[in-house]
């Protein structure tokens, strides 16, 4: 397994040195044809929608969303591969519906869970092969500018630090584990939990002195501030920001603190690795040969060139086990028509809305503290007893509505009785950890969700009121 991972890594890296428009278009066409064929023949959940469309013509196809694909997750995977893996569709569905925290099935299928920024829970499935393929392309694209081939070939051992939330089913954890397990000869990759106090985190990093750090933008900004304050002296070679939108002010703050370091930005999701990676000029280049992005308006029609989309439809070209074809994501993006002076043949993509807002809390001394909603989300989901929730955030009070998976009011009351104290405890601990317990009140309410109400599809996780 690890040899295959490494050979794919080297191949994607070499391939990227000689990338041309022609090669991108050829790869895209070939992969889309393959995906289409596989989905038509072996993916029961996709067959009906593909039947009405002309092969390879995405525009003919109705979009699909997370909820549709989650209605019967076992039906949306490639049954031929499933058969080869000697797993039955029934067993797969039982696994997916029954287990909340498992991250693999018999080491054959990897499960990534997306709590998502829209509050809709989802699962993404990969075999070792599709996972390795996506990892290799992702690292190939990042490596295009951030580490020399001698690194990839392991001629000098590379120290990598993943500063992430420690949850086995989250994509960043799985990326970290893969590099730890599959490429041990080439790199010393370690995970550092961002839930520890920043001073402990900085001390642990100073001991390790990583060449490469991957984390969320707000954590990298924290690191940049600590560096400016002289809390440590070393410089990594590369800082990679992923998961949330890295805005220009954050980019500047990080590059000012680490002038010798290459700052890299990656736009990806649990479903699609990689969507886009930044060049030396800070522009995001879309990996058109790995996934196809269609920016559309509220009605689902293509937006004109240079216009921001309401949402996007994404087709992933690397995962033929769990194909996502014209899959709706809520990001606001646009393509920039002018070619980038960096010379990359990949088109430039600009993102405006990745919906992980900052949440302001008014402190007792009158100051306002901004919290990253990702961390709030993880604190709320910590008990792993439910997936859906919504928070109305006012400066001094959060109204948390929790929607457990229950059939009736009786079950809802039972859930409330069993879980309220643990959930409250998690939130109190979070509040205390961030020094908010004097200023912020948190109210929890348990509710039933009407799954047939389509308005819930666009429900925001955090509604921020001033
Ligand atoms: Zn560029």
- For 244-254, the pLDDT digits (tens) are 778 788 899 99
- For 257-310, the pLDDT digits (tens) are 999 999 999 998 899 988 999 988 889 999 999 999 999 998 899 999 889 998
CA of 342 to the centre of ligand 1 (A): 4
Tell me how far apart the alpha carbons of residues 297 and 303 are, in angstroms, rounded to a whole number.
Answer: 6
Based on the domain organization, do 185 and 264 belong to the same domain? yes
Contacts of 142 (CB under 8 A, 6+ apart): 238, 240, 264, 266, 274, 277
Question: What is the CATH number for 307?
Answer: 3.40.50.12780
* Contact indicator for 357, 373 with CB cutoff of 8 Å: yes
Based on the domain organization, do 363 and 319 belong to the same domain? no
Based on the domain organization, do 177 and 249 belong to the same domain? yes
Question: What is the CATH number for 440?
Answer: 3.30.300
CA of 340 to the centre of ligand 1 (A): 5
Contacts of 261 (CB under 8 A, 6+ apart): 235, 236, 237, 238, 239, 255
Q: How confident is the model at residue 135 (pLDDT cuts 50, 70, 90)?
A: confident
Tell me how far apart the alpha carbons of residues 16 and 13 are, in angstroms, rounded to a whole number.
Answer: 5
Please give the pLDDT value at position 30.
97
CA of 27 to the centre of ligand 1 (A): 20
Based on the domain organization, do 141 and 264 belong to the same domain? yes
Beta strand segments in 91-165, E:
104-105, 109-114, 122-127, 158-164
Name the residue with tokens 């930044």: 278
Per mean pLDDT, which range of 148-157, 211-220, 391-400 is the poorest? 148-157
Based on the domain organization, do 126 and 162 belong to the same domain? yes
The whole-number average pLDDT for the span 163-190 is 82
Domain boundary among 319, 336, 355: 355
Domain boundary among 333, 355, 377: 355
Based on the domain organization, do 43 and 144 belong to the same domain? yes
**Percent of the chain beyond pLDDT 90?**
44
Domain boundary among 355, 384, 416: 355
CA of 20 to the centre of ligand 1 (A): 14
Please give the pLDDT value at position 456.
45
pLDDT at 314 over 70: yes
275/17: higher pLDDT: 275
Supply the pTM of this predicted model: 0.79
Based on the domain organization, do 152 and 184 belong to the same domain? yes
* Contact indicator for 89, 66 with CB cutoff of 8 Å: no
Tokens of 6: 């490494």
Please give the pLDDT value at position 296.
95
Q: How confident is the model at residue 455 (pLDDT cuts 50, 70, 90)?
A: very low
Q: How many domains does the chain have?
A: 2
Based on the domain organization, do 313 and 405 belong to the same domain? no
Average pLDDT, the chain: 86
Based on the domain organization, do 153 and 170 belong to the same domain? yes
CA of 339 to the centre of ligand 1 (A): 8
3-state secondary structure 258-272: CCCCEEEEEECCCCC
CA of 347 to the centre of ligand 1 (A): 8
- For 111-120, the pLDDT digits (tens) are 998 865 555 6
CA of 345 to the centre of ligand 1 (A): 9
Alpha-helix residue ranges (DSSP H) falling in 149-247: 149-152, 171-182, 198-208, 217-228
Based on the domain organization, do 218 and 203 belong to the same domain? yes
* Contact indicator for 152, 286 with CB cutoff of 8 Å: no
pLDDT at 397 over 90: yes
Q: How confident is the model at residue 84 (pLDDT cuts 50, 70, 90)?
A: very high
Based on the domain organization, do 309 and 435 belong to the same domain? no
Residues of the domain holding 335: 1-355
pLDDT at 454 over 50: no
Q: List CB-based neighbours of ion ligand 1 within 5 Å.
A: 279, 281, 283, 340, 342, 344
Based on the domain organization, do 16 and 151 belong to the same domain? yes
The angle subtended at Cα 183 by Cα 272 and Cα 164, nearest 5°, is 55
CA of 282 to the centre of ligand 1 (A): 7
């Amino acid at each position: 397994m690890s040899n295959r991972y490494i050979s794919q890594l080297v191949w994607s890296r070499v391939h990227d040195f000689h990338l041309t428009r022609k090669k991108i278009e050829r790869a895209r066409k070939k992969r889309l044809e393959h995906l289409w064929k596989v989905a038509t023949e072996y993916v029961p959940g996709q067959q009906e929608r593909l039947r009405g469309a002309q092969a390879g013509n995405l525009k003919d196809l109705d979009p699909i969303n997370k909820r549709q694909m989650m209605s019967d997750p076992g039906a949306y995977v490639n049954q031929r591969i499933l058969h080869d893996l000697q797993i039955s569709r029934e067993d797969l569905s039982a696994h997916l519906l029954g287990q909340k925290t498992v991250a693999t099935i018999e080491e054959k299928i990897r499960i990534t869970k997306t709590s998502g920024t829209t509050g809709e829970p989802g699962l993404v499935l990969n075999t070792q092969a599709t996972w390795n393929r996506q990892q290799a392309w992702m690292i190939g694209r990042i490596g295009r500018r951030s580490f020399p081939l001698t690194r990839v070939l392991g001629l000098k051992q590379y120290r990598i630090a993943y500063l992430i939330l420690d949850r086995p089913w989250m994509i960043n954890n799985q990326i970290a584990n893969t590099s730890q397990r599959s490429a041990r000869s080439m790199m010393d990759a370690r995970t550092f939990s961002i839930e520890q106090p920043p001073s402990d985190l900085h001390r642990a990093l100073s001991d390790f002195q990583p060449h490469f750090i991957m984390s969320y933008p707000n954590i990298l900004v924290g690191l940049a501030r600590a560096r400016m304050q002289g809390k440590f002296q070393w410089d990594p070679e590369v800082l990679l920001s992923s998961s949330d939108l890295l805005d220009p002010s954050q980019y500047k703050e990080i590059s000012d603190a680490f002038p010798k370091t290459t700052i890299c930005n990656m736009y990806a999701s649990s479903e699609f690795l990689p969507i886009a990676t930044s060049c030396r000029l800070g522009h995001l280049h879309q990996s058109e040969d790995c996934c196809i992005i269609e920016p559309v308006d509220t009605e689902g029609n293509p937006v004109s060139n240079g216009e921001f989309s309401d949402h996007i439809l994404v087709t992933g070209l690397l995962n033929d086990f769990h194909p996502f074809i014209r899959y709706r994501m809520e990001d606001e993006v646009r393509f920039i028509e002018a070619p980038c002076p960096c010379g990359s043949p990949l088109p430039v993509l600009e993102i405006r809305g990745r919906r992980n807002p900052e949440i302001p809390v008014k402190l007792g001394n009158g100051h306002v503290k901004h919290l990253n909603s990702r961390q709030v989300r993880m604190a709320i989901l910590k008990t792993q007893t439910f997936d859906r929730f919504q928070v109305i955030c006012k400066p001094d009070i959060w109204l948390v509505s929790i929607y457990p998976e229950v059939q009736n009011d009786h079950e809802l009351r039972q859930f409330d009785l069993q879980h309220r104290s643990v959930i409250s405890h998690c939130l109190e601990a979070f509040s205390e950890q961030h020094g908010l317990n004097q200023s912020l009140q948190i109210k929890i309410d348990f509710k039933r969700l009407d799954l047939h109400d389509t308005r819930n599809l666009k429900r925001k996780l955090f509604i921020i009121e001033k």
